[in-house]
Amino acid sequence: MTDDDRVFRALADPTRRHLLDRLFERDGRTLTELESDLEMSRFGVMKHLRVLEEAGLVLTRRSGREKLHYLNPVPIRLIHDRWIDKYRERQVSALADLKSELEDTA
């Protein structure tokens, strides 16, 4: 599996996207905090967090006895650069070409 595959797979699940949104609101949360508003077993949440960690979207740090979870937005930025910017650029240049063509013939 490539890095991109792992990120797309991780993002293709509503619970995992919800976990990322929770971390976006406030980073450095414990498993207990993250599972508090999910109707899911602790084990289920841990499994989702592991998929996010494998994709590099969540990083963990030990703080005393607690394991804190941090959102890492870099893989999403890389997906953006690779899969969104490229196509947007082409769209923009197509529109620019259309504009100059229309203005030339006018």
Name the residues that contact another protein, by CB under 8 A.
Answer: 3, 24-28, 56, 59, 61, 68, 70, 72-75, 77-78, 81, 85
Q: How far is the CB of 35 from another protein (least distance, A)?
A: 21
Is the CB of residue 40 less than 8 Å from the CB of residue 15? yes
Q: Between 42 and 77, whose beta carbon lies closer to another protein?
A: 77
| DSSP notation for 41-73 | -HHHHHHHHHHHHHTTSEEEEEETTEEEEEE--
Shortest Å distance, C-beta 98 to another protein: 23
Pick 37 or 39: Cβ nearer another protein: 37
Residue 48 Cα distances to 18, 37, 79, angstroms = 11, 15, 20
Nearest approach, Cβ of 39 to another protein (angstroms)?
Answer: 25
Report the chain's terminal Cα–Cα distance, integer Å.
Answer: 52
Query: Residue 38 or 78: which CB sits closer to another protein?
Result: 78
